[in-house]
């Protein structure tokens, strides 16, 4: 660069238009971090995981975020934190703030739980359904109406403050039994594998979250060992004026304090895939303050085995009674939506061997049209068996259910 070009580059740095900071999101994140710190002081808490991303077994591209997951000695708690103010109500299972829809339902939290449960079984961890609890924590000093309540009969709660949340987690029920050492170790490993979002941070404190995808080879290499890359111009103002900018990146290790500095081409682009907006955001390194690597890699769950089945489980198959008319199945999980052909409905997992169907003709038009929000795949619902008949030809049970 010539001196004039260097000078123009320096002056342009002072007036660059960076993305605008989202202060509401920052406040929400700060509230979540504050809750995490409070949770770590509760007796019985093993570890707390913030902003955990839970993908699907069949595809690592679809991820559901859990604000907070608390691993305790005897249960696992999924927490959705809302830093709202004003009046909080719920209509048709959708959360409203001051009468405005926030687009959140308990089904989103239940879907994250469902994904976790499926992955844990897939990697060999056998835990009962009732050891996973959910809490909607309203920590923004809001007035929470009685209409804000979960659909599940048990294991789901609403906390109207941080203190009430801590109180809920401090209570141990009779059915809560401590995990054995092997299971607890496997759960810690599994939860640590989820990771969180990558982030691109800018000089004005703005931050965008998603998946860092470029420069591809460098990102893949860096994220395994390092938690962040801090970008800086190594030269002073006068050094830049005479010699031009020289950008470097300080790689911050996940373990230890051995910071490694690498040279960067300040005109090279870093690309972040934004899953919320479904776009790729591209910025040169000169416009970036840091890159944060939220995870080491996206796990291939088909190659992960954290526990081996017990000997007793391999020798003797457990007898599971078939649900009959009138039986209530708490927290039955949605397996899939039947949307083609004459037979349409929602398929639920009732137990290890049986499925039940809520047929479309038993649902309202509103319920069917909003099934992806109200009855998302992997979400949990209390259902009642309305009929249970055995098909001799197919040697299987045909079970119909309704939600309660």
Q: 377-394, pLDDT tens digit by residue?
A: 878 888 999 998 877 677
| Shared domain check, 271 and 224 | yes
* Tens-digit pLDDT profile for residues 297-343: 888 888 899 998 765 544 444 555 788 888 998 888 888 899 988 88
Residue 277: per-residue pLDDT: 80
What total number of domains does the chain contain? 3
The verdict on 141 and 215 lying in the same domain is no
Let me know whether 178 and 49 are in one domain: yes
Q: Which residues pair with 52 in a beta bridge?
A: 66
Average the pLDDT over 84-89 and give the result.
Answer: 94
Does one domain contain both 3 and 49?
no
Q: What is the C-alpha separation between 66 and 53, in angstroms, rounded?
A: 6
Same domain, yes or no: 176 and 226: no
Q: Final residue of a domain: which of 272, 293, 314?
A: 293
pLDDT in tens, 216-252: 999 999 999 999 999 999 999 999 999 999 999 999 9
pLDDT of 33 over the 90 cut = yes
DSSP 27: H
CATH number of the domain bearing residue 355:
2.40.50
pLDDT score at 1: 60
Let me know whether 185 and 214 are in one domain: no
Of 162, 191, 220, the position where a domain reaches its end is 191
Q: How many CA atoms lie within 13 A of 15 on its CB side?
A: 4
Determine what percent of the chain is predicted with pLDDT higher than 70.
94
Q: What span, in angstroms and rounded, lies between the C-alpha atoms of 307 and 93? A: 37
CATH number at residue 71: 3.40.1350
Average pLDDT over the chain, rounded to whole?
A: 88
Q: In the prediction, which pLDDT does 314 show? A: 46
Same structural domain, 202 and 182: no
Of 269, 293, 317, the residue at which a domain comes to its end is: 293
Q: Are residues 98 and 165 in the same domain?
A: yes
Whether residue 301 contacts residue 122, with contact meaning beta carbons closer than 8 Å, is answered with: yes
Q: Tell the residue number behind the tokens 């920590």, with chain if given.
A: 139
* Domain presence at residue 136: yes
Residue 181 sits in the same domain as residue 45: yes
Q: Copy the structure tokens of residue 212.
A: 């860092």
In a domain, 235, yes or no: yes
Does 46 share its domain with 161? yes
Whether cis (ω within 30° of 0) applies to the bond prior to 215 is yes
In a domain, 310, yes or no: no
Neighbour count for residue 370 (Cβ, 10 Å): 16
Beta-carbon contacts of 194 under 8 Å, excluding residues fewer than 6 positions away, are 49, 52, 53, 54, 55, 295
Same domain, 176 and 205: no
Residues 98, 9 share a domain:
no
Name the residue range of residue 67's domain: 41-191
Return d(Cα 109, Cα 15) in angstroms, integer: 42
Q: Give per-residue pLDDT as tens, 131-178.
A: 889 999 999 888 999 999 886 656 789 999 999 999 999 987 766 789
- Whether residue 208 is predicted with pLDDT greater than 90 in this model: the reply is yes
Lowest mean pLDDT among 13-27, 79-93, 150-164: 150-164
């Amino acid at each position: 660069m010539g001196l004039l070009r260097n000078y123009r580059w320096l002056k342009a740095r002072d007036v660059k238009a960076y993305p605008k900071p989202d202060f509401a999101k920052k406040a929400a994140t700060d509230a979540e971090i504050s809750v995490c710190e409070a949770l770590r002081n509760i007796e019985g808490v093993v570890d707390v995981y913030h902003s955990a991303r839970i993908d699907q077994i069949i595809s690592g591209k679809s991820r559901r975020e859990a604000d907070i997951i608390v691993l305790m000695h005897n249960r696992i708690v999924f927490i959705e934190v809302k830093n709202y103010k004003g009046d909080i109500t719920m209509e048709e299972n959708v959360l409203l703030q001051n009468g405005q829809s926030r687009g959140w339902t308990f089904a989103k939290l239940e879907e994250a739980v469902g994904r976790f449960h499926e992955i844990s079984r897939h990697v060999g961890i056998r835990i009962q359904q009732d050891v996973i609890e959910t809490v909607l924590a309203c920590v923004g000093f809001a007035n929470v109406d009685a209409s804000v309540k979960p659909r599940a009969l048990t294991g789901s709660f609403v906390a109207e403050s941080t203190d009430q949340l801590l109180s809920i987690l401090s209570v141990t029920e009779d059915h809560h039994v401590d995990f054995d050492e092997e299971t607890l170790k496997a759960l810690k490993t599994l939860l640590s594998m989820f990771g969180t979002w990558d982030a691109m941070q800018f000089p004005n404190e703005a931050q965008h979250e998603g998946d860092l995808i470029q420069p591809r080879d460098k990102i893949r290499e860096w994220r395994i060992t390092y938690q962040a890359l801090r970008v800086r111009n190594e030269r002073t103002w006068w050094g830049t004026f005479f010699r031009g900018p020289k950008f470097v990146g300080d790689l911050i290790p996940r373990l230890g304090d051995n910071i490694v500095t690498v040279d960067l081409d300040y005109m090279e682009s870093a690309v972040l895939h934004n899953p919320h907006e479904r776009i790729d955001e591209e910025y040169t390194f000169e416009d970036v303050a840091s890159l944060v690597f939220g995870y080491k890699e996206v796990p291939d769950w088909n190659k992960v085995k954290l526990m081996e089945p017990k000997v007793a489980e391999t020798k003797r198959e457990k007898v599971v009674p078939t649900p009959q008319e009138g039986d209530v199945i708490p927290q039955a999980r949605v397996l899939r939506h039947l949307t083609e052909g004459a037979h349409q409905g929602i398929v639920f997992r009732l137990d290890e061997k049986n499925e039940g169907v809520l047929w479309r003709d038993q649902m309202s038009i509103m319920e069917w049209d909003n099934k992806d929000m109200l009855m998302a795949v992997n979400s949990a619902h209390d259902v009642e068996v309305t009929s249970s008949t055995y098909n001799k030809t197919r040697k299987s049970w045909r079970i119909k259910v309704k939600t309660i």
